[in-house]
Structure 1
Amino acid sequence: MTNKNVELMRGNPETAVKKLAIPIMISMILTALYNIIDGIWVAGLGPTAIAGIGFVTPIFMVLNGASVGLGNGATSSISRFIGAKNHEMANKSVEHSLFIFLIASIILTIVLLIIQKPLLMSYGASGQTLNEALAYSTPLFLGLIAFMFSNGCSGILRGEGDMKRSMYVVVITVILNATLDPIFIYTLGLGSAGASIATIVSSAIAAFVMLYWILIKKDTYVNVTLKNFKSDLNLAKDILKVGIPSSLDMLIMAIAMSIYLIIISQVGGDYGIATFTSGQRLYLFAIMPLTAIGSAVIAVSGSAFGAKNGDYLSRTHTYGSKFGLALGTAITLILVIFATPLATIFAYTAETASLVPGIALYLQIACPALILTGIGIPSSFFYQGIGKGIYSLMFTILREIIFVVPLVYLFVFVFNFGLVGIWLGLCIGRAVASILNYLFARYEVGRLKAKFGN
C-alpha cells in the first residue's frame, strides 16, 4: 500500500493532489472538531467560560501551529528525498524529525507554562475570565507533547503519501473526544479544564498509534531504526528551514490575533470577545479543507521538486489553486447563507442567546475572504514543498500584520465602524494578500521551470 502511495506522488500531479487532499481534508475537519466540540460543551458553562477559552485561542494557535509546522517540515524533506529516489535520506529525515518533535515539545511546554498568566492578562483577561482561561490552558500546555507527535507523525505519513491511516486514527479520536468532553466537564465537574484534558487524551492516542506504525510495526515506506541514529546537522537544517517558518506562521497569526483581541476588548468588551472567538472557531473550521489542499500540495510539489520536474510543479500549484478557489467559494456561501443557525451552535442557552446576531454578522462580513484564501493557501504550502518556507512566512506577515492590522485600525479608530470595522479589515486584508501570494507563486513556478529546463 505504501509503495502505491509513493508512486501516486510521483505520477500525475492533479490526481495526486486530489487523492491526497481528500483524506487530509477529512482528518483536518475532524481534528478541528476538537475545538468546535470543546466550544459547544463549554457554552453550557456560560459567557465567562466562553470568553476565558477565547483568550487562550491565540496561544493555542502557537501550540498547535508549532506541531503542524514541524510536521510540514518533515513532509517537505521526506517528499523531496522520495522524489529524488533517495530512500536512505528519507529514512534519516524521519529519524531527525522525531527527535526535533521531542526537543520542541519540552522547550515549548516549559515556556508556555511560565508565560501563560502574564500573557493572558496582557490580552485583557481578568477576574473569573482569567481563572477560566488558566483552567483550560494549563492541561493543554502540559499535554503539548501529544499534539506535537500527533501532528508531527501525520506530517511523516504525508511525506510518503500515506494519508488514509492517519485519517482512520483521527476518526476514532474525535469520537473519543466528543465522548470524554461531557464526562470531564460536567460529570467529573472539571469545567473548562475538562475540555482540554479530553482533547489531550485524544491526541495522545492518535500519536501512540502512528508511532506504533512507524517504529514497531514498520509497515511504512520509510524504515526507521533509532538505535543507529547519528545526528546530521545539514539534514536537521533541511527539516527546520521549512518547519520553523511554518511554525512561525502560526506565531505571527497569534500575534495578530492578540492585537485583534486587544482592539475587540476595547471596542466590544466581553461581548465582542465572545462573539469573535465563537465566529473564529467556525472560520478556523472552515479553513481546514483549504489547508488540506495545501498539505497535499506540499507533498506533491516536494516530490516534483526532488525529481526536478518543472511541469509537474506548475501543474501541482495550478490544480491546487483551482481546487482551493472552488472549495473556498462553496464554503463562503454556506457560512454566509446559514450564518444565524451556525451561530446558534455556540449560543444555544438563554444566557448566551444574545451572541447569535453578533456571531452571524462576523461570519457574513469576515468570511468572504475565504474565496481568495483558496488560492493563497496552496501558494504558501507550495513554497514549503520546494523548501522555501521563508516565503510562506513572508506572506503571513504581509497578510495579517502589514495589511489587516492597519485596515482594522483605519475602520475602527478613523471611520468609527466599531466591531464591523474589525470584521471588514480582516476580510479585505486577507483577500488582497492572497492575490499577491498567488501571483508571486506563479513567478516562482516560472523561475523553477526555466531552471529545470522543463
Structure 2
Amino acid sequence: MSNKNVELMRGEPEIAVRKLAIPIMISMLLTASYNIVDGIWVAGLGQAAIAGIGFVTPIFMILNGFSVGLGNGATSSISRSVGAKNRERASKSAAHSLLIFLAASIVLTLTLLIIQEPVLKTYGASGQSLTEALKYGTPMFLGLFAFMFANGGSGILRGEGDMKRAMYAMIVSVALNFILDPIFIYVLNLGSAGASLATIVSSLGAAIVIIYWILIKKDTYVNVTFKGFKFDSEIARDILKVGIPASLDMFVMSIAMSFYLMFISSVGGEYGIAAFTSGQRLYLFGIMPLTAIASAVAAVSGSAFGARNWDYLSRTHTYGTKFAMLVSIVILLILVIFAPQLSMIFAYTPETAPLIPEITSFLRIASFGLLLVGIGMPSSFFYQGIGRGTTSLAWTIIRELIFTVGFTYLFGIVLNWGLTGIWVGLAVGRIIASILNFTYARYTIRKLKSVLN
C-alpha cells in the first residue's frame, strides 16, 4: 500500500520535520485550548474554583502524561518499523499499543480515584477550594479512557506520519468542548464538574474518530486486526521501554508542580495559586508549538534510526532545534509584550481582577525559560524517537526536580523573594537544564555514528 506520509518520513529530514510539525502544532494548540476555554468559563465561578482546578493540575498531568507517554511509545516503535520498511511489525506494534491503552486506563482510573483527595490536601487544598477540586477531578478521572485512546491513538497515527488526521480528530474534539463548556457549567449548573465533563465528552469524540479510522475504515498504513492475535512480549517491551519513561516524564513534572504549589501556597496563599494557575495555562499554551516540533523530531528520528541513516538522524535533531528556537522567540515576545491583556482572559470579573498584576508578572518572568526550552525539548523527544526513553526521563528529572525545583526554592523561599523569586526560578532552572540536554544529545549522535556505522 502506497502511503505518502510514510514516504515523507523516509525522505529529507528537514522537509519531514517541517511538514509533520505544522499539523501536530495545530493539534496541540487545539488541545491546549481545552485549558484556555475551561479557564475562561471557570473564571466566572470565582477565585476558589480557579484555585481548586489549579490544585488538580498536577494529578491531571499524570493522567494526561500517561496517555501521551504511551502514545509516544507507540510512535517510536511504529516509526522505527517504518524506517526499517517492516509494515508487519508496525501493524503489530499498533495492535499491542491499543491493548496497552485499555489496560492502563483501568489501572490508572482506579488509582487516581483513590489517591485524589489525600493528595489534594497535601498540596494545601482545603475548604471551598478542596470542594471545587474534587468536583472537577472526579469526572476527569472517571473519563480517563477517553484521553488514553485519543492521545494514544494520535500516537499511532504519528508513528506512520499521518499528522493531518490526528489534527482533524482534535478539531472535532475542540469544537465539542467549545460548545459543551458553557452548557455544562452554567446552563446545567454543574459548575467545575461541568468543565471536566465537557472535556471528557470532547476527548471521547476524538477517540471514536481515530479508532474508526484504524479498526473499521482501515485506511491507515498499519493494518490492525485482532483476529488470531498473539501477544508478543518483545513488541510490548519495545513500546513500553519508551512509553513508560515518557509517561513518567509527566509524573515527574507533576511532582515538580506539587513543589511549586507548596512553595507558592506558603508565600502567596490562594491568591498566588490562582495567579500561577492562570499564568501557567498561557505558558503551557505557548509551549505547545515547541512540543509539536519535538514530536515531529521524535517521529523522523525514529524512522532515520530504523533505517540506520545517521546523517538524517543528525540533521533531524539540528533542524528541529533551530526551528523550535525560532518559534520560541516569537512566543516569548507575544507573552511578554501582551502579558497584561492576556492576563485579563482569566481575570475579567471584579473578584478576579486583582490577579492581573501577578499573572502579568508570571508571564514576563517565567516565560523567559522558553528562550532555550526550544533546544531542550527536541533533544528529549529525540531520545524517545531512537528508543531511549529512560534517557529522556533522566533529563526530565534533571530539568524539573533538580534545576527548576531547586532554583524556585532558592529564589522564592531561601532568598525570600516571594512569588517573584519562584517565577525567576522557573525560568533559570529550565534554561540551564535545556543547554545541558542539547549538549548531551549532540554527544549521543556523535557516539551513534562512530559506534554503529
Could you tell me the TM-score, scaled by structure 1's length?
A: 0.99
- How many corresponding residue pairs? 453
CA-CA distance at 1:452 after TM superposition: 3.6
SS in 1 for 2:3: helix
Structure 1 pair 2–402 and aligned structure 2 pair: CA distance change class (3 A):
farther
Q: Name the structure 2 match of 1:122.
A: 122
Confirm or deny that 1:238 pairs with 2:238. yes
Any residues of structure 2 matched to 1:69-108 within 5 Å, and which? 69-108=69-108
**In the alignment, structure 1 residue 345 sits paired with structure 2 residue 345:** yes
CA deviations on 1:92-151 (whole Å, 9 max, x unpaired) are: 000100000000000000000000000101100011110000000000000000000000
Residue 5 of structure 1 corresponds to: 5
Q: Gaps (5+ residues) in structure 2?
A: none
Partner of 1:145: 145
- Could you list the per-position Cα deviations for residues 23-82 of structure 1 after superposition, in whole angstroms to 9, with x for gaps in the alignment? 000000001101110010000000000000000001011100100000000000000011
Please say if 1:174 is aligned against 2:174: yes
Deviation at 1:286, TM superposition (A): 0.6
Aligned partner letter, 1:413: I
Aligned to 1:36: 36
Query: Is 1:362 matched up with 2:362?
Result: yes
RMSD (Å), alpha carbons: 0.8
After the TM superposition, which segments of 4 or more aligned residues of structure 1 sit over 2 Å from their partners?
none
Deviates more, 1:311-320 or 1:398-407: 398-407
Distance 1:55 1:2, change over 3 A: farther
Cα deviation, 1:346-378, whole Å, max 9, x if unaligned, reads 001111000000000000000011110001000
How far apart are the structure 2 equivalents of 1:342 and 1:278? 10
CA–CA separation in structure 1 for the residues paired with 2:375 and 2:306: 23
Report the counterpart of residue 191 of structure 1 in structure 2: 191
1:389 to 2:389 alignment: yes
SS of the counterpart of 1:222? Answer: coil
Asked whether the equivalents of residues 2 and 162 of structure 1 are also in contact (C-alpha less than 8 Å), the reply is no
Distance 1:2 1:142, change over 3 A: farther
Residue identity matched to 1:224: V
Matched, 1:59 2:54: no
Deviation at 1:2, TM superposition (A): 6.6
Instruction: Output the CA distance in 2 between the equivalents of 1:147 and 1:216.
Output: 20
Distance 1:264 1:97, change over 3 A: same
Partner SS state of residue 348, structure 1: coil
Matched with 1:203 is 203
Native 8 Å contact 1:2 1:160 kept in 2: no
Write the mapping of 1:309-320 to structure 2, written as runs, cut at 5 A: 309-320=309-320
Matches of 1:322 and 1:452 in 2, distance apart?
A: 26
The offset of 1:450, in angstroms, is 1.7
Tell me, in whole angstroms, the C-alpha distance in 1 between the residues paired with 2:2 and 2:242: 24
Q: Distance in 1 between matches of 2:56 and 2:170?
A: 23
CA distance in 2, matches of 1:2, 1:411: 56
- Cα displacement string for residues 404-430 of structure 1 (whole angstroms, at most 9, x for unaligned residues): 122122112322100001011110000
CA distance in 1, matches of 2:2, 2:371: 34
Q: Who is 2:378 aligned against?
A: 378
What one-letter code is carried by the residue in structure 1 that aligns with 2:326?
A
1:221 aligns with 2:237: no
Instruction: Work out the CA distance in 2 between the residues paired with 1:406 and 1:27.
Output: 33
2:18 is aligned to: 18
Asked if structure 2 preserves the Cα contact closer than 8 Å seen for 1:2 and 1:161, the reply is no
Mapped to 1, the partners of 2:25 and 2:98 lie a distance apart of 24
**Alignment TM-score, normalising by the size of structure 2:** 0.99
